[in-house]
A and B are shown apart, each in its own frame.
Chain A
Amino acid sequence: MADNTTAVQDNDQPLMQAEGLGKNYGRLSACRDVSFALYPGEVLAIVGESGSGKSTLLQLLSAQLAPSAGKVSYRMRDGVMRDLAALGEAERRFLFRTDWGYVHQDPVLGLRMAVSAGANVGERLMAVGWNHYGRIRDTATSWLERVEIDVERIDDAPRTYSGGMRQRLQIARNLVTEPRLVFMDEPTGGLDVSVQARLLDLMRNLVSELGLAAIIVTHDLAVARLLSHRVMVMKGGRVIETGLTDQVLDDPREPYTQLLVSSILPA
């Protein structure tokens, strides 16, 4: 696939870079001094217990919250590194529905529950100017197949779907514009174990097939182990340990990480 060559060539430059990122809510500091670089095709998991600042960090990174300190830069499709805070609202929203995906924990937030699955997937395409019903529908159909949703149900509204199907539909809706970066907030939360396994399997295949970069917030270390290349462990708003996934999970250095790893129930 020969799309814009400049973007493909500089894969050794970071796609997203956070520098000294912090967010205060009044005197409460939800997230402090977070710095990292994310490279194209890389999957980063942010793990930690509830209240550790994971979700705040994800919102800062996806420009839904303005940081109190530090900045986030993102390499646009033209190869230029841009400070997210300096983007206009129109640019930011455009980025959000083309080059980025955001998978919510609760699919109700990420889907339009009253319109059909096909339209849910097609909405992003129509938003970037697709104007041919047949092509939109074909694309939606092929995406439903890829996320293993019965194509017969393309005209059903997601409110008639099961939890696992909704989550898969949400993933299809996000990936249809071929984003380069996907944010996922507890993507497997609230699903039963067998559905989780299937969803994880699907996500792992899609991420490697499409060469997606992803930032996954999760408290489930199994999700981190299965999907991510790198892990950041957060506690009390700080990143306390970071490294390759197997290194952090098999040989945790910090006492807190050791506690996290040891608190997985034995299978």
Chain B
Amino acid sequence: MNAPVYNFAYLDEQTKRMIRRAILKGIAIPGYQVPFASREMPMPYGWGTGGVQVTAAILGPDDVLKVIDQGSDDTTNAISIRKFFARTAGVATTTATADATVIQTRHRIPEAPLHGGQVLVYQVPIPEPLRFLEPRETETRRMHALGEYGLMHVKLYEDIARFGHIATSYAYPVKVNARYVMDPSPTPKFDNPKMDNCPALQLFGAGREKRIYAIPPYTSVVSLDFEDHPFTRYRFDAPCALCGAGDSYLDEIVTDDQGSRMFVCSDTDYCEGRQAEGHRGSESAAPHKERPHG
């Protein structure tokens, strides 16, 4: 049988060159949205076509890839993208944040601090932070060019007027390198401070919208706010039910139809790491005992 033969990491070399050029431009102008000729990928828009193209363009044979979806290594999206690159590029994959050289992520930044030499690739649905305030692309581009960002505060103003506090909890706008206002993709605002002065390179790919942007290592990333309503992180006020962590971002999991719920780390690797070190939460003892052997 004639199995289809793909180029290394699926994309052809010309396409990768084109994407790398966009990435380099993005790194040179932190936070600026660089248009690129986004390709059709073997997955639907909205599943990370932008992130996959960026990953394909930067991946080398020696790289170790980690893919997370909402912090988790074992959801469908994460597994299929990891498998995709294992098959088309033959690269090693991992779930350990510290071991990975390239981490593709949807909507989370890992809890473990990133180190120099790592690249974090974000999947971005809507790269334009001003989109829902100003529908015209020509106008938003002009606003970016001239640094007219008063409108971004209109959104925050509306939040406070309506809810009494800045209720935007994800895709919270940031200013990069004191110049461009950027949408950090729908990561929870809990993760925003991790982007600031991060030793790792952060790349953002939006496949449907055909934009790439970047934050080079050690770049200032400031969340927008008001003097009298400063930026605050948000997490559920509970320890992780599995590992007892009091500092990680939590998912709320509904466990029955009687209103019971538990809070667990959204970052599965972080949570498993802590459990391996012997940390326990309120829910972890019982399921572990039930297992025949560990």
Evaluate contact between A122 and B151: CB separation under 8 angstroms: no
Q: Which of A98-144 contact B (CB under 8 A)?
A: 112, 115-116, 118-119, 122-128, 131-134, 136-137
A32 to B157, CA, bound (A): 45
Q: How far is the CA of A241 from the CA of B148 in the complex (A)?
A: 41
**What chain B residues lie within 8 Å of A122 (beta carbons)?**
154, 157
A90 touches B (CB below 8 Å) = yes
B150 touches A126 (CB 8 A): yes
Does A155 sit within 8 A of B, measured CB to CB? Answer: yes
B148 x A133 contact (CB < 8 A)? no
Place the interface of chain B in its size category: 10 to 19
Complex Cα distance, B211 from A245, in Å, reads 56
User: Which DSSP category, helix, strand, loop or mixed, fits chain B's interface?
Assistant: helix
Taking residues whose C-beta sits less than 8 angstroms from the other chain, chain A's interface range is 20 to 34
Question: Which of B51-59, B225-233, B253-261 contacts the other chain?
Answer: B225-233
Given A126-B153, A134-B228, answer yes or no on A119-B161 (Cβ-Cβ < 8 Å): yes
The chain B residue with its CB closest to the CB of A127 is: B150
A12 within 8 A of B: no
For B146, B148, B154, the residue with the greatest tally of chain A CB atoms inside 10 Å of its CB is B154
Decide: A119 and B226 in contact? CB cutoff 8 A.
no
Per the bound structure, the CA–CA distance linking A235 and B38 in Å amounts to 54
* CA distance in complex: A146, B133 (Å): 27
Contacts of A77 in B (CB 8 A): none
**B89 contacts chain A at the CB level, 8 A cutoff:** no
Q: Let me know if B150 and A89 touch, CB within 8 A.
A: no
A126, B154: Cβ atoms under 8 Å? yes
Tell me, yes or no, whether B238 is within 8 Å of chain A by CB: no
Chain A 59-102: CB-based contact to B (< 8 A → 1; otherwise 0) = 00000000000000000000000000000011001000100000
Interface residues of B in 78-116 (CB under 8 A from A): none
Please provide the chain B residues from 127 to 153 with a CB less than 8 Å away from any CB of chain A in the complex: 133, 142, 146, 148, 150-151, 153
User: Nearest CB to that of B224 among chain A residues?
Assistant: A131
Contact A115 B228 (CB under 8 A): no
Residues of A close to B133: CB separation below 8 A: 112, 115
- Whether the pair B228, A123 counts as a contact (CB closer than 8 A) is no
B160 close to A (CB within 8 Å): yes
Q: Does B289 contact A (CB under 8 A)?
A: no
Can you sample 11 A-B contacts with CB below 8 Å? Answer: A93-B148, A119-B161, A123-B150, A126-B150, A126-B157, A127-B150, A131-B153, A131-B227, A133-B160, A137-B161, A155-B162
Interface residues of B, Cβ cutoff 8 Å to A: 133, 142, 146, 148, 150-151, 153-154, 157-158, 160-162, 226-229
**Given A89-B146, A112-B133, A133-B157, 10 other A-B residues pairs in contact with their CB atoms under 8 A:** A97-B150, A115-B133, A116-B161, A118-B157, A119-B158, A123-B151, A126-B153, A131-B227, A133-B160, A136-B157
